Amino acid sequence: MAIKDLTTEQRNPASMHIDTVSTAEMVKIMNEEDKKVAIAVGTQDAQIAKAIDGAAERYKKGGRLVYIGAGTSGRLGVLDAAELVPTYGIKPERAIGLIAGGQGAMYKAVEGAEDDTDLGAKDLKKLNLNEKDTVLGIAASGRTPYVIGGLEYANKVGALTISIACVKDSEIGKHANIAIEAVVGPEIVTGSTRMKAGTAQKMILNMISTGVMIRQGKVFENVMIDVLPTNSKLVDRAGRIISAVTAATQEQALEALKKADNDVPLAITMIKTKTDKAAAQKLLEQYNGNVSEVIKNN
**Which pLDDT tens digit goes with each residue over 171-184?**
999 999 999 999 99
Q: Sketch the domain layout of the chain as residue ranges.
A: 3-215, 219-297
For residue 295, the number of C-alpha atoms closer than 13 Å in the C-beta half-sphere is 17
pLDDT digits (tens, 9 = 90+) for 144-174: 999 999 999 999 999 999 999 999 999 999 9
| Residue 87 pLDDT | 85
Domain 219-297: which topology? Helicase, Ruva Protein; domain 3 (1.10.8)
| Residue 112 pLDDT | 73
74: amino acid identity, one letter: G
| Residue 1 pLDDT | 63
Distance of CA 213 to the CA centre of its chain: 9
Cβ(98)–Cβ(77) under 8 Å? yes
| Residue 233 pLDDT | 86
Which residues are within 8 A (CB) of 122 and not within 5 positions of it... i.e. 6 or more apart? none
Distance of CA 57 to the CA centre of its chain: 15
Which residues are within 8 A (CB) of 192 and not within 5 positions of it... i.e. 6 or more apart? none
Which residues are within 8 A (CB) of 191 and not within 5 positions of it... i.e. 6 or more apart? 8, 9
| Residue 255 pLDDT | 94
Cβ(256)–Cβ(235) under 8 Å? no
Q: Give me the active site residues, please.
A: 83, 114
- Rounded Cα gap, residues 239 and 258, in angstroms: 10
- Rounded Cα gap, residues 224 and 226, in angstroms: 6
- Return the number of other C-beta atoms located less than 10 Å from residue 133's C-beta: 25
User: How many residues does the structure list for the chain?
Assistant: 298
Stretches where the chain sits below pLDDT 50 are none
Domain 3-215: which topology? Rossmann fold (3.40.50)
| Residue 27 pLDDT | 97
